[in-house]
Structure 1
Amino acid sequence: MAKMKTNEERKADLEALTEQMGKQIDSYFESPEKIREHLQFLGKFHQYSMRNAVLIESQFPGAVAVGSYPFWEKQGAQVQKGERGIKVFVPSPVTYALHKDEWVPLSKAPKPIKDGVKQGRIPSRKMMYFKIGHVFEYTQTDAREKGIEVSDIFKRYHRDGGLENEQDIHDALTTLADARNVTLLEEPLDEIGTAKGCYYPELHAIALNPRNTSIENITVLIHELAHAELHNQERNLERDKPLTAPEKEFQAEMVAYVVSHQLGFPTDDFSLSYLAGWTKDKELLDKEKLLQEVHQTSASFLDHIESHLEKVHTLQQEKEKSPIEYIEQMDLRMGWKDADLSLYERVHAVQSVFPEEVEPYLNAKAALETNLKVDRVDEPLMYIHGKGFGFQSFGVANNQDFSEDAIVAYTVVLPNQPLISGHFDPDRTVHPLHDLEKNNKFEKPTLKNLEDSWHNVLLEEEKKSLPRITLLNVERLI
């Protein structure tokens, strides 16, 4: 049985580990190549604290994924015999209670003191200490032999990013800006020349150069969002010593590099040229604080982006389900089991919780309620939800009086095209065609065809009504 370490020995171990971490941090700033390598590593381990990421890298270069011994057991993997754990700092909060004018650990306090703390009669406070724990890298286990992939375990932190989901990532960055109350301007307030973008601290706003490519807009937006996060007016006032313009650029570029590299975007053009100037006369604490801020900002950005991508992925999977599976899933998510709700209540409930789900929800309901066979559609058809008519010729379905309805929900199907659904308030919109035009749901040629279909119905009705009108106008003798 291993001999228990004394408090002095544990303290010495922590000091040695802290010193090792400090040396590792110092080594990053020796060259742009070394800081790049570290930033790449930070991206992979952004769920860990910056200090623990540094320790993992120093002890196990090239690590891909780590977990504790119990963690790997839960995954069905076993740490290989003889493997040495990677040392990390483990937070260990200790609660103290006030006893005879002294703060004593609650665990060692007399029972009346413990009861007093529990009842709120005796003051208590928590202090954070750290102890040394151990984690093991993926290759130190038998996970590979058992066919357990890293991506199966760490779905959020180990995903393939890159150009194929460029739009989803751009959307995620837009929601990230919105969450931080950053305004995204349509264009710069003045000519910015060859600059790719700019952040206006006074306005807490970002503008991108309209000459950028779509790929450039991704990486530049990350850079400018880093400025908005780290160099806004409030953060600037909190600093003991203001950062210089080159220091701010260095920090923002490091955040952009971490996030872009982790998402699979090109990083060859990233410039860390401020490294040499920034490190001159800087103490270790300055360097650690710089990396801490970069790490925290990168981690929060990646968490937000990956959460958004997970949501998009989940929604895509749900859209690929059969209509009945999709409806059942939505009923479960909305808590609608056995609920007797009107169409108005259902649509507005989905709109308030999952606005992006309204259209696929209506699509699924239309397909399920009408038993639609899409492959048999040879003309534009439309279904008005709640009317009980099923899919009708578009012109016929559009030619109704909707003024008395609380809400109008519709689904349109065209030959060889996916379903399109929408909904509107009849007080503001006349009919489905009007709503399709307002929301640009179809290209102009398609809208013109739908309009012609409706006009043909109007003409037919007018022709049918002419003989009746003529008869009504014939003179009658009584």
Structure 2
Amino acid sequence: MAENTAVKEEKKTVTLTVAECSEFHNMGEFHENITSVAEAVAKFKEIPPERMHGIPTIGIRVADPKNPEDSVEMDVLIGKRIDLDMLRYVPDIAENWQAQQMIATLIHDMPEAQIEGEIPENIQKKIDWIESRDKRADELHQITDKLEKGVKDVFQSDKYKQFLNVMAKFPRYSVNNTMLIMMQRPDAQLCQSFTGWKQMGRYVKKGEKGISILAPAPYKIEREQTKLDDKGRPVFDADGESVKEKVEVTIRAFKVVKTFDLAQTDGKELPMIGPNELVGSIDGYPKLLQALQEVSPVPVSFELIDGGAKGYYNLENKSIVIQNGMSEVQTIKTLLHEMAHQKLHDKDTVPEAKDITRNGKEVEAESVAYVVCQHYGINTSDYSFSYVAGWLEGKETPELKASLDKIRQTASEFIYQIDQRMEVLMAEKEQVQEKGANPELQGVVDKVLKDLDQKRTVSKVKESVKTRIKANAEKAEQAPKRNKSAKTKEERA
């Protein structure tokens, strides 16, 4: 998104020059109208030292495009030194944002050059930004290389289970960050930033090494572009030239940040962390099953299925059928598996599902079920993921990554919906328990409320009778008048 940061100003063209001789540019090699610092530095370094006619230089030229002769030029890099003292005498260059950017880039790209004079604050800020950009780029390059390898490695059976276990603990994390946490600290329980732990009353232990993950790091740059009117059309000046304006543009980017696991911290005791291990037990099973059935967007039924199948999603009827009589763990896992099929692989609502192989669909559905079960402390680790290796064969990294994204997003949505529904069901259960806590007192309360309702009913009946009596009396009083009036009309007729 672009935001105006300056009103219209006179357009200037900023270019670079490279001269073999700083004192007399027409002696020896000379290049002009160079638009990038990288190109200027390359040409500067290509000048053979043995035939130099004086000291080589890189200069900056600021010119008016309407009048090229009206230009200001200054040599910035002279031999092995960068002269910044002269900037104070050339405000057209010193105050031009594009020239500032070029000087900052030149200082960064020529670290061996000696700087003469003080670096202006506006140029120093640009140097700092360039250096931080390079650092971020290097860190991102290293971490994306790890991810590229990790996506392939994770689909080995053991590592895949490990990855899904980590995903179950961090359902809100992206696939990239989930994988990075697993690769660096597979036993992580709960991750927060250094500041995040501090706000929770805990502190990171001395000497602990943070876990590197990715975080959004948008930044803004200035650029010059054609000004547009309210209808999106270019604006022209009196001479027919397009009006230019400087705008500030936000660029989406990422940076490497550090997060720390709970085990790396000390301090204030935290409330229950992670999944509720009681969910899935005899007490928790009915509520969890009810929550799943209510969360499911299609009807769920329990039947005797022939052929040994534990469940299936009926594409035609848009319903889920689960084998009746299975264990609680198997029932929950199978229902989640079929719910994942309904969400991810119904070709009527997900057209791209037709391009996924049957094996691929099973991997995705079972992975979603596994992650959700792990989140709620339901142990399904005995289930085999050995068929994943067969699905991996011939697949490229983007395809595998896309599948992991779907698994994470679907599991995260299921967990959120189940949590919301479980809260409602537990609240209803507590209300019922509170109501039945003292039967004698509840009986008295019920009797009082019943008597009150009866009194209100009697009162309403009495009020209704009074209203009817009053209405009948008014009718009786008006009846003779109506008869007399009718008789008068007859006589007149």
Alignment match, 1:46: 171
> Is the 1:253–1:270 contact (alpha carbons within 8 Å) kept by the matching residues of 2?
no
Q: How many residues align?
A: 314
Query: Which has the greater radius of gyration?
Result: 2
Cα deviation per residue 1:74-121 (whole Å; 9 max; x = unaligned)?
Answer: 111111222222111112345789962399xxxxxxxxxxxxxxxxxx
Give distance in 2, aligned partners of 1:25 and 1:381: 63
Q: Which residue of 2 aligns with 1:173?
A: 292
Q: For residues 81 and 169 of structure 1, what CA distance do their matches in structure 2 show? A: 42
Q: Any idea what SS the aligned residue of 2:451 has? A: coil
C-alpha distance in 1, partners of 2:224/2:316? 51
Distance 1:402 1:202, change over 3 A: farther
Shift of 1:319: 5.9
Partner of 1:297: 410
Partner residue of 1:288? 401
Judging changes above 3 Å, is the alpha-carbon distance between structure 1 residues 124 and 303 closer, same or farther for their aligned structure 2 residues? farther
Q: Which amino acid aligns with 1:54?
A: M
- Shift of residue 132, structure 1, vs aligned partner: 1.5
What whole-Å deviation, never above 9, does each CA across 1:156-194 have from its counterpart, x for those lacking one?
Answer: x443233131111111111210xxx32224548xx5421
The code of the aligned residue for 1:238 comes to: E
Map of 1:137 onto structure 2: 261
Please name the residue that 1:193 is paired with: 307
- What residue ranges of structure 2 are gaps of 5+ in the alignment? 1-127, 229-245, 463-493
Superposed CA offset, 1:188-220 (max 9, x none): 8xx542101001223332111224344422111
Offset, 1:34: 2.1
- Residues 402/168 of structure 1: CA separation in 2 closer, same or farther (3 Å cut): farther
Taking the aligned partners of 2:350 and 2:199, their CA distance within structure 1 comes to: 45
Distance 1:158 1:214, change over 3 A: closer
Q: CA deviation at 1:297?
A: 1.1
Report the structure, 1 or 2, having the larger strand content. Answer: 2
In structure 2, relative to structure 1, the CA distance for the partners of 1:260 and 1:237 (3 Å cut) is same
Q: Distance in 2 between matches of 1:186 and 1:62?
A: 37
Unaligned runs of 5+ in 1: 104-121, 322-359, 390-396, 406-478
User: Quick one: structure 1 residues 201 and 401, their matched pair in 2 at CA, closer, same or farther if it must change by over 3 Å?
Assistant: farther
Deviates more, 1:68-77 or 1:158-167: 158-167
CA displacement 1:292-346 (0-9 Å, x = unmatched) = 111111111112222333344455556666xxxxxxxxxxxxxxxxxxxxxxxxx
Q: Distance in 1 between matches of 2:458 and 2:323?
A: 48
Deviation at 1:11, TM superposition (A): 0.9
Q: Which residue of 2 aligns with 1:348?
A: none
2:163–2:178 Cα contact (<8 Å) kept: no
User: Does structure 1 conserve the Cα–Cα contact (< 8 Å) formed by 2:280 and 2:328?
Assistant: no
Letter of the aligned partner of 2:408 in structure 1? H
Q: SS of the counterpart of 1:142?
A: strand
Q: Indicate which of 146, 157, 162 corresponds to 2:280.
A: 162
Change (3 A) 1:245 1:192: farther
Q: Which amino acid aligns with 1:26?
A: K
281, 291, 300: which one pairs with 1:184? 300
- The sequence identity of aligned pairs, in percent, is 27
Q: TM-score, normalised by structure 2?
A: 0.56
Tell whether the 8 Å contact from 1:94 to 1:129 is kept in structure 2 after alignment: yes
The aligned counterpart of 1:229 is 343
Deviations 1:48-89 (A, max 9, x none): 111111111111221111101111111111112222221111
What's the TM-score once normalised by structure 1's chain length? 0.57
Q: What's the offset of the Cα at 1:38?
A: 1.5
Residues 401-440 of structure 1: matches in 2 within 5 Å? none
4+ aligned runs moved over 6 Å, structure 1: 95-98, 122-126, 400-405
